[in-house]
Amino acid sequence: MGSAYILGVYAQEESLLAAFRKLKEEKIEIADVFMPFPVHEVLQNLGRKSRITIVGWFFGFFSALAVLAFLFYTAVIDWPLNYGGKPSNAFPSFLVVTIVLTIFSITILSLFTFSMRAGLWPGNEKPIFHERATDDSFVILLDKTKVDTERAIRIMKETGAIEITEKQTGQKA
C-alpha cells in the first residue's frame, strides 16, 4: 500500500514561506515540509507538537529522585560504613553524585526518546522525497488524497516553485 504525494520545491526561504502562508490561508493541508535548516515560522505553524523538552524535565526529576534513593539505600540502609566518623547519610556530598548522574540519565533517556519519536536510528531508511532537500532546496509535501490537487499546484506555481512533481512511495511519509 503506497501513497501519492505532490512535491513543491523552492529554492529560496522567502518563496517557501510565501507558499507556506498561502497554502495555510487556503486551508490546504500540508503533509510535511523538508528543509536544509530549521525555518522557525514553518516549525511553529505547521501544527506539529514536540513535547521532548517537557519529557526531558520529567526524566531529570525522576532520575534525581531515583539516584538519591539509591545512594540513601546503599550508604545508609544496606551497608552503612563509617568513613572517619562522618554521618552515613552525608546528604550534601551526595548531591554531587546526584547532579552528575541525573545529567547522565537525562542524556541517555532523552536520546532514546528522540530516536524513537523522530524515527531516527542507525540504518533506518525513510523515503527520501527530494535529494536537494538537505542541500539547497525547501520541499513542501502534500498528500494527494487529501488536497485539491489542481488548486494546490496553482498556488505552488504562483509562489515560485522551481519544480512540482508527484511521487509514489511504498511507505507513508
Partner 1 sequence: MYNTEIRGPLILGNKSLGQITDDITSPLYARPKFWWLAGLGISSLMMLLGFWAIYVTISTGIGTWGVNNTVGWGWAIINFVWWIGIGHAGTAFSIFLLILRQEWRSSINRAAEAMTVVAVGCAALFPALHMGRIWNAFFILPYPNTRGPLWVNYNSPLFWDFIAISAYLLISASFWYLGMIPDFATIRDHAKSKVRKGVYGWLAMGWRGSVGEWKRYEGLSYILGGIAAVLVVSVHSIVSTDFAVSVEPGWHTTIFPPYFVVGAIFSGFAMVMTLMILLRKIYKLEDYITDRHMQNVAKILIFVSLIMGTAYLTEIFLAWYSGNRYEIFTFFHNRITGEFTVQFWIMFVCNAIIPQLMWFKKIRSNVLILFIISILINVGMWFERFNIVITSLAKDYLPSAWASYSPTFVEISVYLGTLGIFIFGVLLFFKYIPMIAISEVKAVNKYQIENRKSKGESKKN
Structural contact between residues 22 and 158, judged by C-beta atoms closer than 8 angstroms: yes
Q: What is the DSSP string of 55-122?
A: HHHHHHHHHHHHHHHHHHIIIIII----STT--S--HHHHHHHHHHHHHHHHHHHHHHHHHHHTT--T
Query: Minimum distance from CB of 99 to partner 1 (Å)?
Result: 6
The reply to whether 171 sits near partner 1 by the rule CB under 8 A is: no
- Stretch 35-64 residues interacting with partner 1 (CB under 8 A): 35-38, 42-43, 46, 48-50, 52-53, 56, 60
* Residue 167 CB burial class (10 angstroms; 0-12, 13-18, ≥19): middle
**Is residue 69 a contact partner of residue 91, using CB atoms and an 8 Å limit?**
no
**Near partner 1 in 67-126, by CB under 8 A:** 70-71, 74-75, 78-79, 81, 83, 86, 90, 93-94, 96-97, 99-101, 103-104, 106-108, 110-111, 114-115, 117-126
Residues that bind partner 1 (CB under 8 A): 13, 32-38, 42-43, 46, 48-50, 52-53, 56, 60, 70-71, 74-75, 78-79, 81, 83, 86, 90, 93-94, 96-97, 99-101, 103-104, 106-108, 110-111, 114-115, 117-126, 128-129, 131-137, 173
